Chains A and B, each alone.
Chain A
Amino acid sequence: MESTKEIELQKTANKLTDDIQSMTNYKNLYNEIQRLVASRAVRKEDFKNTLVDALKSNGLETELRNTVFHWARTQGPLQREPEPLMPMLEADLSYLKRAQIQWERRIQKSLNSMCNELNVPLARIRFNMDKDELAEKWDELSTYDIDLSQYRPLYAPKDFLEVLFMVRDPSFKKQPGEPNWEFSHIQIRVKTLSQLRAMYPELSHGVPLLGVNPHMTAMGNYLNLEAERTALGERVLASNHAPIAQEFLKRGAPRAIRGKLWSLVLGSIVKDNDEEYYEELKSLVLQYDIMVDKLIIKDVQLTASNDDQYFVFEDVLYKTMLCFSRDSEVLAPVTTDRSAGGQVIHAVLQGKPATLENTLVFPPSGVIPFHGFTMYATPFCYLYDNPCTMYYTFRAFYLRYWFRLHTVSSHEQGIVALCLLFERLLQCHEPQLWAHFRNIHIQPIKVVFKWLMRGFSGHLPPEQLLYLWDLILGYDSLEIVALLAVTILSFRKENLMQVNTLHNIEAVLADLSSLKVMPLLQLVLLKE
């Protein structure tokens, strides 16, 4: 028994050593350690102990720990599954994977047909004139004037929802009289409200949170809760420990240090080699003219540019999204994830022979944007002035959470699971509303789907949205998004009960500007 454990441990350690060597900051770390070893702090006669001490005293130990923390996060599931009381047979969910593969193929097909229709290639070397213009206007891409009137987003949240509605468990037999739009037949385990209460103890135990009342009295000698949290947060930052920063976020971040905390938790603190890489991405944008560029620019125009909360950041968003499309470091995590369909398009550069060197993965990131894709990045504009810093935190957030919101998968954090969680919670805890929706033949998921799919970006005012995302990071889970959606319906129940058309329901839910995220979530998790 002991020995198997040891073997397992050895295996993990080996994998860790291998993987760390291929991580981007390995070189930096290695150089630093070499420098340390050569310094006087490390003595040959007592090598191990003096090295460990030196690592501790100059902060490299923390760096190493953070590296392992980030590595571990990329390996395991977002959260460990609670052991089921009754070991039930794992349901066969491979049909979800098939649905995803089909969905990916469908997107690729419409991409190709749009290219044919508009008579543009998927990819080509950018013409010199275009390249010069783009380079010149890089910081001001809102003035990069191209005709996009013929371009349309490939799909919108409602199209994706249609896809989800079509997903059917082949072994499931519909009971007579049962509506055929529920997700309930999909056998993904989702939490109950009491399980959520256990998962979010800070919220369910009524611990003082930021975002409830900033003037709330504090512990110790602080003027108020915000001052207390800021002082504590500064110490967390000084410690430089990513897991502590994650823990800290559970009670909401003070504005002034949120950006730094997020970067620490996500391991997206920019180092020299990151800046070089970001510049490389830019040069790839300038070098290649790919069809997705137009879709990206169109999407920024359709979303952020028209939004009074984000229009001022239009130019940095163009840059961010264009660089993202060229980022091949995104490709592997999103295509090899167990929830991905793994369909990748290869595009041959127009006018070149179809050889390996003229072929590129299309787009290099493997992510094909849809209507509202930009909204995954917009809130970061409030946190970071530097486009490069913003880029890496956005990217890390996307890779950890957002890509699961536009793929069909059985992942507990995926959009299907969130829809199911939303449905179950609504049905169990707001039966009256549930019945009302059923009576008027409207699927409740229909009115909240865009919130879920965008993680509420663009729907909540930035300040409230950032609190919500604090919780996502702090508890490392998207379940809070589904919970918030239920809570909002519950909060507006009286008004919802009085209307019976989709249009009017949407009107009741259109303006979320007065909502306060933290008190709402606390309220719903607190009561029992």
Chain B
Amino acid sequence: MANSVADNKRAVTNNLSTIYGRVPTIGTDKMRVTFCTDMDKSVIVYNFEKRGWTQVGPEDDWNFYWAVTQSCRTIFSVETGYRMSDNQTINHFPNHYELTRKDLLVKNIKRYRKDLEREGSLLAERGDGPGKYLHLDFIPVTFVLPADYNMFVEEYRKSPQSTWIMKPCGKSQGAGIFLINKLSKLKRWSREARNPFNPNLTKESYVISRYIDNPLLIGGKKFDLRLYVLITSFRPLKAYLFKLGFCRFCTVKYDTSIQELDNMYVHLTNVSVQKHGDEYNSLHGGKMSVQNLRLYLESTRGKSVTEKLFANISWCIVHSLKAVAPVMANDRHCFECYGYDIIIDNKLKPWLIEVNASPSLTSTTVNDRILKYKLIDNIISVVVPPDGVPDVRWNKCPSPEAMGNFELLLDEELAAQDERDNPTGKFRNQSNKWK
């Protein structure tokens, strides 16, 4: 009986949606939740089905769309003219590339620093040397090529000993990356790139960054951190950090000698690179949990330096987000989970390397599968209101239980509220830690 009523409702919604191309708002208590995904990943589908949601196609009326960035772009493009209803949510912001393209991230951070400086903010305090900031130097010195070539050369000449890393702006997973330690090598590359037989290369822009050549090593090996950061709103900023991040280790001992400069198994931590190496172990996949890293650091280096490191990691995540917040299209239907790549140097200073809009959901090991399953589960429970149906009118303040393994990095709305309630700042809670 109950079923047939629901089915009738369903039929009605289907009809309406074919007419208007969107899901009408109906009594949420009876609403059946639908999802859509164009990623063939069992962790995603399994998590939705566990909630009793029904899979539909992208043309049908969906409530929750886990999309690849391309489909997302189509939905938001003017030509498509798709209008989302209040009960629809999607996993990317329309212009996420402001954060996730290597060149734009750098551009936005540079602009953010200048803006703060203009405001006379203490955060923008200068360090030693031109272009150096005391607190906001969480990304390695970076230039966009070919545009900033002259600026790069100027910087290069200051310390010709250092190594630089070249990355194509639009590629991921370590593709097209190489290290250079001589200007001549860069010149040679640019000549070859302009080769008429290889016209594609000329169009591509690159970023060149000072290579962090003193990474923290454990067991003699280099690693980076993969952290997951969930954003449910950019203005006000609402950001959550997933506690179950992991370290990705290189399979080969770290070695800065010139002979090894081209050996990417030494330098790049990307699993997509490392898994082709002879030393790759498919049982652990070169991954160690951040919790274990913390245990190791606290035990061997002490508690206060370890706490400072992790506080600095949060700091650099928060400021990278603040840097892009003004330019982000803050669509209320959107949320996004970013994959942050961070390298820690041997002075325990974290460096933001890059941000990924579609962090890999492929599981390389059993633990990886468990982790990614929890990640998706926790994301859904943070972004969906307590009644279980996506709704943009919700205030996006999940309960502590709903946060699962996420911890609040910053909620500007809550922080502002706190400030109103406790103007003296005596009883500030977590939410305004980074203000």
Bind each other: yes
- Return the CB mask of B266-296 against A: 1 if under 8 Å, else 0: 0000000000000101011111110110011
Which residue of the partner chain, among A143, A254, A305, A462, contacts B281 with CB atoms under 8 Å?
A305
Within the assembled complex, what's the spacing in Å between the Cα atoms of A139 and B220?
Answer: 9
Which residues 303-321 of A have a CB within 8 angstroms of B?
A: 305-309, 311-316
Q: Are A255 and B295 in contact (CB under 8 A)?
A: yes
Closest residue of chain B to A260, judged by CB?
Answer: B299
Contacts of B295 in A (CB 8 A): 255, 382, 462-463, 466
Which residue of the partner chain, among B223, B288, B303, contacts A308 with CB atoms under 8 Å?
B288
Within the assembled complex, what's the spacing in Å between the Cα atoms of A463 and B219?
Answer: 19
Contacts of B249 in A (CB 8 A): 311-312
Q: Are A307 and B284 in contact (CB under 8 A)?
A: yes
Which residue of the partner chain, among B220, B279, B296, B298, contacts A315 with CB atoms under 8 Å?
B220
Which residues 294-334 of A have a CB within 8 angstroms of B?
A: 305-309, 311-316
Q: Are A256 and B303 in contact (CB under 8 A)?
A: yes
A509 interface residue (CB < 8 Å to B): no
Q: Are B288 and A311 in contact (CB under 8 A)?
A: yes
**Residues of A in contact, count (CB < 8 Å):** 29
B39 interface residue (CB < 8 Å to A): no
Interface of A is mostly: helix
Q: Are B300 and A308 in contact (CB under 8 A)?
A: no
- Return the CB mask of A209-250 against B: 1 if under 8 Å, else 0: 000000000000000000000100000000000000000000
A258 interface residue (CB < 8 Å to B): yes
Closest residue of chain B to A306, judged by CB?
Answer: B283
Closest residue of chain B to A230, judged by CB?
Answer: B303
- Return the CB mask of A162-199 against B: 1 if under 8 Å, else 0: 00000000000000000000000000000000000000
Closest beta carbon of chain A to B367's beta carbon, Å: 6
Given contact pairs A306-B281, A306-B284, A258 touches B218 in the complex (Cβ within 8 A)? no
Closest beta carbon of chain B to A308's beta carbon, Å: 4
Q: Are B298 and A255 in contact (CB under 8 A)?
A: yes
Contacts of A142 in B (CB 8 A): 279
Given contact pairs A305-B281, A306-B281, A312 touches B219 in the complex (Cβ within 8 A)? yes
Interface centre among A255, A258, A383, A466, by most chain B C-beta atoms within 10 angstroms, is A255
Within the assembled complex, what's the spacing in Å between the Cα atoms of A139 and B255?
Answer: 13
B253 interface residue (CB < 8 Å to A): yes
A276 interface residue (CB < 8 Å to B): no
Which residues 460-505 of A have a CB within 8 angstroms of B?
A: 461-463, 466
Within the assembled complex, what's the spacing in Å between the Cα atoms of A312 and B295?
Answer: 14
Contacts of B281 in A (CB 8 A): 305-306, 311
Contacts of B303 in A (CB 8 A): 230, 254-256
A384 interface residue (CB < 8 Å to B): yes
Closest beta carbon of chain B to A233's beta carbon, Å: 11
Q: Are A308 and B365 in contact (CB under 8 A)?
A: yes
- Return the CB mask of A259-293 against B: 1 if under 8 Å, else 0: 10000000000000000000000000000000000
Contacts of B279 in A (CB 8 A): 142
Which residues 119-166 of A have a CB within 8 angstroms of B?
A: 139-140, 142-143
Number of A-B contacts (CB under 8 A): 69
Q: Are B288 and A463 in contact (CB under 8 A)?
A: no
Given contact pairs A255-B298, A316-B219, A140 touches B292 in the complex (Cβ within 8 A)? no
Closest beta carbon of chain B to A109's beta carbon, Å: 33
A32 interface residue (CB < 8 Å to B): no
Q: Are A382 and B219 in contact (CB under 8 A)?
A: no
A92 interface residue (CB < 8 Å to B): no
Closest beta carbon of chain B to A324's beta carbon, Å: 19
Q: Are A315 and B284 in contact (CB under 8 A)?
A: no
Contacts of B291 in A (CB 8 A): 461, 463
Q: Are A258 and B299 in contact (CB under 8 A)?
A: yes
A385 interface residue (CB < 8 Å to B): yes
**Residues of B in contact, count (CB < 8 Å):** 27
Q: Are B283 and A256 in contact (CB under 8 A)?
A: no
B302 interface residue (CB < 8 Å to A): yes
Closest beta carbon of chain A to B310's beta carbon, Å: 13
Interface centre among A230, A254, A309, by most chain B C-beta atoms within 10 angstroms, is A309
Contacts of A230 in B (CB 8 A): 303
Closest residue of chain A to B286, judged by CB?
Answer: A311
Closest beta carbon of chain B to A385's beta carbon, Å: 5
B396 interface residue (CB < 8 Å to A): no
Closest residue of chain A to B296, judged by CB?
Answer: A382
Q: Are B220 and A140 in contact (CB under 8 A)?
A: yes
Which residues 30-51 of B have a CB within 8 angstroms of A?
A: none
Contacts of B96 in A (CB 8 A): none
Closest residue of chain A to B298, judged by CB?
Answer: A255
- Return the CB mask of B226-237 against A: 1 if under 8 Å, else 0: 000000000000
Q: Are A256 and B284 in contact (CB under 8 A)?
A: no
Q: Are B220 and A256 in contact (CB under 8 A)?
A: no
Which residues 414-471 of A have a CB within 8 angstroms of B?
A: 461-463, 466
Within the assembled complex, what's the spacing in Å between the Cα atoms of A142 and B252?
Answer: 10
Within the assembled complex, what's the spacing in Å between the Cα atoms of A258 and B295?
Answer: 11
Closest beta carbon of chain A to B363's beta carbon, Å: 13
Contacts of A313 in B (CB 8 A): 218-219
Within the assembled complex, what's the spacing in Å between the Cα atoms of A337 and B296?
Answer: 35
Given contact pairs A306-B281, A308-B284, A384 touches B289 in the complex (Cβ within 8 A)? no
Within the assembled complex, what's the spacing in Å between the Cα atoms of A383 and B285?
Answer: 23
Within the assembled complex, what's the spacing in Å between the Cα atoms of A128 and B230?
Answer: 57
B221 interface residue (CB < 8 Å to A): yes
Q: Are A255 and B299 in contact (CB under 8 A)?
A: yes
Q: Are B299 and A312 in contact (CB under 8 A)?
A: no
Given contact pairs A255-B295, A305-B281, A463-B295, A312 touches B300 in the complex (Cβ within 8 A)? no
Extra A-B contacts (19), CB below 8 Å, given A311-B286, A383-B299: A139-B220, A140-B253, A255-B295, A256-B299, A258-B299, A306-B283, A306-B284, A308-B283, A308-B367, A312-B218, A312-B219, A312-B223, A313-B219, A314-B219, A382-B295, A383-B300, A461-B291, A461-B292, A463-B295
A–B Cβ pairs within 8 angstroms, 26 of them = A139-B220, A140-B220, A255-B295, A255-B298, A255-B303, A256-B298, A256-B302, A259-B300, A306-B283, A306-B284, A308-B284, A308-B289, A309-B288, A309-B289, A311-B286, A382-B295, A382-B296, A382-B299, A383-B299, A383-B300, A385-B300, A461-B291, A461-B292, A463-B291, A463-B292, A466-B295
**Which 5 pairs of residues, A with B, have the shortest CB-CB distance?**
A308-B284, A312-B219, A255-B298, A256-B303, A306-B283
* Chain B residues within CB distance 8 Å of chain A: 218-221, 223, 249, 253, 279, 281, 283-289, 291-292, 295-296, 298-300, 302-303, 365, 367
